[in-house]
Structure 1
């Protein structure tokens, strides 16, 4: 039986400019053995990462379940994924020899916890879910004071993948095809362009930025939506616009090369 420990986390250190006044509700589940020092370090990392994510995306209307496993690796978190079957879970496979600061500087926790801001949308819409988490990981890290410019980081990730989108298939078709071929970076950062453009359109129309729209979404709609169409309708509603539905139509229908040219991506 996996060992279970529920803890109330309090960060004993700090990084960046994040406020740690209220630790978000989550439970830790230790699936492998960790020393007391390793447990403390990982608790502090996940307290910081969870709070940073929720500072950007708003408090989630559920308790997160965070699972930890040992895994050898050349980076702090060699693997992580989310599960949604019975609760909102993130499973982290960690190499505990890395320092707390190295864990905090790693993007993985921000990406995975950001996934939980949206319901599970199925494999067909993985481009949307992964694009969202990829886009938000850097917005979260910028707000936490860990990087200087999310826009710079996002552009740097998409630039080498842009070549995959210079044809007549739509952005959705291209990103989905790339993911099916396990070309994850190309699929993720192509999908992220939906949110790059959504952010731009929100600001052009005098709306609140995307992360504040997601905060509103947590309160009204996160627990009721079960598919992509419902998420899009809810985001239109909270932003009092048609930005998300119209953008999804373009992402689905315009040739990818035309979409990139239209928005100068």
Structure 2
């Protein structure tokens, strides 16, 4: 059965929020200054992003997610900023600039990033590299999967993130463990976010290289199916242990030990070579060799087929 959606154009106060009755639906509340054309444009943008993340995770990660859309009075781009809501009903609050076109919103990475956060429970503020890393790793790949970016553009954008993270690592010259919890005070966002993204990228490739290939997508989907709504609290070490169990490997803990106390940026050169990606100056070169092209296509567009019985059947998609 598909998922319904309630769209409420109302003031975002506690009283008004209560007026939007929700059972299993995604509830989108928009600021009353938005006209019908603007609401329709934003609704299509949000639903596309939510559906893409839902498909990646195998199911809607947060039933009845509370999505609030406010107008921004500062910042740059279509979505100057956004934040995940973890208290009460989980969801996301977006601040948008209505001067931008529908296509500009589609090409902006923010919605894919923020919806990706909902794939995991909140692991606390002491190690944001993990949750921000997953969302940063997925944001461009999911734009590629949705057909908004080409595969080449998605991979080039991912490479650009790694370059920014590498430059930030040389500037801060501290371990990821020391910087992650102090990210807000040290303003080491690029270092923390993209080190985490490199961690998940390296593991995704490593899973695909196993004798019985798997993928990060399958591990995340298995987690959503078994554990996302368990009601328990999760720390980053606990999530890493669970991901090892779900993948039947020690890849998550192994790569964690490799990066967490390193002052440098995680080395992704081996994963690049396996995919036929070469960082050439300020650009990314992609090998035309058919097998390497196939690997890149699989990375962006989807994981290998899940073995029968590998995880419980799941239903429901954001529509």
Change (3 A) 1:25 1:170: same
Q: CA deviation at 1:243?
A: 1.0
Deviation string, structure 1 residues 31-53 (Cα, Å, up to 9, x no partner): 44311211111111111111112
Tell me the TM-score normalized by structure 1. 0.83
Q: In 2, Cα distance between the equivalents of 1:70 and 1:258? A: 36
Q: In 2, Cα distance between the equivalents of 1:158 and 1:170? A: 16
CA RMSD of aligned residues (A): 2.7
Q: In 2, Cα distance between the equivalents of 1:168 and 1:94? A: 35
More helix, by proportion: 1
Contact 1:175 1:190 in 2 (8 A): no
Task: Tell me which of the two structures has the higher relative contact order, counting C-alpha pairs closer than 8 angstroms and 6 or more residues apart.
Answer: 2
Deviates more, 1:195-204 or 1:183-192: 183-192
Change (3 A) 1:197 1:174: farther
| Matched length | 249
Change (3 A) 1:169 1:207: farther
Q: CA deviation at 1:160?
A: 3.5
**1:1-265 pair list within 5 angstroms:** 2=13, 3-4=16-17, 6=20, 25-59=25-59, 60-72=61-73, 74-149=76-151, 150-166=154-170, 169-176=174-181, 179-205=184-210, 206-224=212-230, 225-253=233-261, 255-257=262-264, 259-260=266-267
Q: In 1, Cα distance between the equivalents of 2:150 and 2:198? A: 20
Tell me the TM-score normalized by structure 2. 0.70
Change (3 A) 1:6 1:171: same
Task: In structure 1, list runs of 5 or more residues that go unmatched.
Answer: 9-23
Deviation string, structure 1 residues 159-199 (Cα, Å, up to 9, x no partner): 13313435974343345555531132232112211111111
Q: Secondary structure at the match of 1:28?
A: strand
Task: In structure 2, list runs of 5 or more residues that go unmatched.
Answer: 1-10, 273-319
Contact 2:84 2:117 in 1 (8 A): yes
**Which has the larger Rg?**
2
Q: In 2, Cα distance between the equivalents of 1:116 and 1:48? A: 15
Q: CA deviation at 1:264?
A: 7.4
